[in-house]
Amino acid sequence: MAEIEELSACEATLEMLRQAKELEQETAFDRVEQQKGCAFGEAGSCCRICNMGPCRINPKKPEESRGVCGATMDTIVARNFARMVCGGASAHSDHGRAVAETLILAAKGEAKDYEIKDRIKLLEVAADLGVEIGDRDINDIALEVGERCLAMFGQQEGELAFAQRAPEPRKEIWRQLGVFPRGIDREVVELMHRTSIGVDQDYENILMACARTALADGWGGSMVGTELQDILFQTPVPLESKVNLGVLKEDEVNIIVHGHEPILSEMIVLAASLPEMQEKAKAVGAKGINLAGICCTANEVLTRHGVPIAGNVLQQELALLTGAVEAMVVDVQCVYQGIGQIASCLHTDIITTSPKAKMPYARHIEFHEDHALDIAKEIVSAAIENFPKRGKVRIPDVQESLIAGFNHEYINYMLGGRFRASYRPLNDGVIDGRIRGVVGVVGCNNPRVKHDDIHVRVVKELIANGCLVVMTGCAAQSVAKAGLMLPEVAREICPQGLWEICEAVGIPPVLHCGSCVDNSRILIACTAMVHEGGLGDDISELPVAGCAPEWMSEKAIAIGEYFVASGVYTVFGVKWPTMGSKNVTDFLFKKYGELFKNTWDFEPDPEKMVGKILSHIDSKREALGIMAKRERVLFDMAMRRELEI
């Protein structure tokens, strides 16, 4: 194993990695060393879609071999990429579907523990979907909104309703290219079909279908998830909280909610706050119940309730090694199988709750919306019962404050006020150069690179170079841990112009915008910038970019693909999964530029990644005629040390 200090930029993580070593417990940081990868897999040139293989094409001699069926390197690489898009789109969209089903049950009165918390958002979404409002009962409107959204999954033809929110020129591009998404499930199923043995063998055709499927995620499944969660649980507003393993408490029952769907975690938050549960905790000698989150569930309950974040995806095993977690309650996605093994050596219960996701060493308490609070109380009670069984506890004394909960609605309100909501000051700030551009920094952690380090370096340099940064997912948590989601910290590196805007509007230069399905919020914000005027007619003309410096999940590929197909230049780090085929990579990195007006890009080095993003932003400013010459701020080692937070 590499030196522990080289593995993470996060102090709490390093402390727990030392603890793992002492306890001889294995984590993802060890397993990554055992899994060296193989050249074919890395090139995307290993085909396992039928039983004649596996077939592997040598990336150094792609012309010299073919799969048993005759598939070329280009076809195999494109199919593998497409199946990543399908996997990612499925994950986001199945999450969105679950929220739509919950909204319907709530509106019918069949899920009595849920209610419509954000009526304004409901009416806005209803209007966008063409649902009649009039003087109808709020639950009737919610029922129709829920049913319309659920119908988007099985829609067979026509155009997805939420995709109509995109700027007109963008929709025209999709229509002309034949990639306007029809139904969410339809696009995923069709692409899975097209990439099975002996179907679509034209890599260009496959890559166009990738765009259509990903758009069905971004402007469909993910957007359904975000919008309906806001309706059911309230659109977030900025609030302050804490992040990192130090949020766990030695004298309280610690429950970690982990996974993605707030349908479950909202109820756990409610159950844990009930006096009867608090009393139960006191009866076993605890001072109370402390809830914390991991991964995107953490972002959901943070932005709506201020529940602190224990850590991001690579900290899930480490959180257990504190010995202070009575239960880790999981639903779907990004839950490492490794946590079961670790928990089996501790008093901790891993509690699985979804019939879609069970695991060894876990206790299964199945969650059902129709008696959600009762089940949540059962889960919280199970955690409380574990408290007296605790052994030795070691919680790193490391935590940071952050402000989170930003979104399109809040930015609109803060910039223009309740009665004249507007993006005008933001657009004006971009036009006059105080804001150089807006960059979405999103995605996961990946133990193939130094944990958190690349996120923090990229974001610091972007701010120092005048960019407003919007963040979601585990990336947001990395940067929050470094203190950059506090205005007073970010101010230190923020140029005067950007800071003036942030101060006037009351935002930090790094905005925590939620979970990974909430990347759909960024699509809406980009569209609002276009509609405000002065920055071109389409998303592709805006001085904006996206990046995922430490990505690992198929979901990140689906997100990147829908950003590119929506006109946003998007750079990924770590490794790029189509390198085996020059044709496929060129199609994504060059040809997409002609088709979608912006492209994918790949750059693992954080400084070069920022360089590419700034060049792109400047080229857009140039094209808009708003370019003012400026020097790039490059961080030398002395500056970095000074900024060490």
Q: Which residues contact 121 (CB under 8 A, 6 or more apart)?
A: 227, 230, 231, 235, 409
Nearer to ligand BF8, 474 or 501 (CB): 474
Smallest separation, CB 498 to ligand BF8 (Å): 26
Smallest separation, CB 387 to ligand BF8 (Å): 27
516 is an interface residue for ligand BF8 by CB under 6 A: yes
- Shortest CA distance to 257 belongs to which of 296, 201, 200? 296
By CB atoms closer than 10 A (0-12, 13-18, 19+), residue 58 is middle
609 is an interface residue for ligand BF8 by CB under 6 A: no
- Shortest CA distance to 237 belongs to which of 472, 408, 103? 408
Smallest separation, CB 94 to ligand BF8 (Å): 12
Site string for ligand BF8, 468-487 (x = CB under 6 A): -----xx-------------
Task: Give the separation between CA 245 and CA 262, rounded to whole angstroms.
Answer: 21
Give the binding-site size for ligand BF8 (rule: CB under 6 A). Answer: 13
Which amino acid does the sequence have at 228?
L
**Position of tokens 């095993």?**
317
Smallest separation, CB 314 to ligand BF8 (Å): 8
84 is an interface residue for ligand BF8 by CB under 6 A: no
Nearer to ligand BF8, 515 or 581 (CB): 515
Task: Give the separation between CA 508 and CA 511, rounded to whole angstroms.
Answer: 6
Residue 561, both tokens: 């693909």
Cβ atoms within 10 A of the Cβ of 641, count? 9
- Shortest CA distance to 310 belongs to which of 324, 295, 296, 293? 293
Smallest separation, CB 330 to ligand BF8 (Å): 12
443 is an interface residue for ligand BF8 by CB under 6 A: yes
Among 83, 165, 555, 621, binds ligand BF8 (CB under 6 A): 555
539 is an interface residue for ligand BF8 by CB under 6 A: no
100 is an interface residue for ligand BF8 by CB under 6 A: no
Among 302, 444, 486, 490, binds ligand BF8 (CB under 6 A): 444
Among 78, 295, 489, 498, binds ligand BF8 (CB under 6 A): 295
Nearer to ligand BF8, 474 or 525 (CB): 474
Q: Strand ranges (DSSP E) for 334-378? A: 349-352, 363-364
Q: Which residues contact 615 (CB under 8 A, 6 or more apart)?
A: none
Cis peptide before 54 (omega within 30 of 0): yes
549 is an interface residue for ligand BF8 by CB under 6 A: no
Nearer to ligand BF8, 475 or 530 (CB): 475
Please name every residue paired with 400 in a beta bridge, in sequence order, or none if there are none.
243
Nearer to ligand BF8, 337 or 619 (CB): 337
32 is an interface residue for ligand BF8 by CB under 6 A: no
Judge contact between 12 and 315, C-beta under 8 A: yes
Q: From residue 303, how far is each of 123, 362, 511 by CA, in Å?
A: 22, 28, 12
Nearer to ligand BF8, 213 or 515 (CB): 515
Smallest separation, CB 260 to ligand BF8 (Å): 6
| Strands of 544-548's sheet in order across | 510-512, 467-471, 437-441, 544-548, 569-572, 600-602
Contacts by residues 337-344 (CB-CB < 8 Å, ≥ 24 positions apart): 338/26, 338/27, 338/28, 338/31, 341/26, 342/25, 342/27, 342/317
Nearer to ligand BF8, 220 or 473 (CB): 473
Nearer to ligand BF8, 181 or 514 (CB): 514
Smallest separation, CB 554 to ligand BF8 (Å): 8
Smallest separation, CB 399 to ligand BF8 (Å): 19
Smallest separation, CB 300 to ligand BF8 (Å): 10
296 is an interface residue for ligand BF8 by CB under 6 A: yes
Nearer to ligand BF8, 474 or 542 (CB): 474
3-state secondary structure of 290: strand
Nearer to ligand BF8, 49 or 98 (CB): 98
Element (DSSP H or E) covering residue 403? strand 400-404
By CB atoms closer than 10 A (0-12, 13-18, 19+), residue 140 is middle
Smallest separation, CB 558 to ligand BF8 (Å): 10
553 is an interface residue for ligand BF8 by CB under 6 A: yes
Smallest separation, CB 99 to ligand BF8 (Å): 14
DSSP 8-state secondary structure symbol assigned to residue 8: B
Q: From residue 205, how far is each of 43, 195, 201, 216, 455 by CA, in Å?
A: 20, 11, 8, 17, 34
9 is an interface residue for ligand BF8 by CB under 6 A: no
Judge contact between 421 and 124, C-beta under 8 A: no
Task: Give the separation between CA 590 and CA 597, rounded to whole angstroms.
Answer: 10
Site string for ligand BF8, 312-351 (x = CB under 6 A): -x--------------------x-----------------
Smallest separation, CB 556 to ligand BF8 (Å): 6
Nearer to ligand BF8, 325 or 330 (CB): 330
529 is an interface residue for ligand BF8 by CB under 6 A: no
Nearer to ligand BF8, 102 or 515 (CB): 515
Please name every residue paired with 255 in a beta bridge, in sequence order, or none if there are none.
291, 327
- Residues in 144-183 that interact with ligand BF8 by CB under 6 A: none
390 is an interface residue for ligand BF8 by CB under 6 A: no
Task: Give the separation between CA 196 and CA 329, rounded to whole angstroms.
Answer: 36
Nearer to ligand BF8, 336 or 387 (CB): 336
Nearer to ligand BF8, 206 or 318 (CB): 318
Smallest separation, CB 517 to ligand BF8 (Å): 7
- Shortest CA distance to 539 belongs to which of 568, 501, 496? 568
Interface residue list for ligand BF8 (CB under 6 A):
260, 295-296, 313, 334, 443-444, 473-474, 515-516, 553, 555
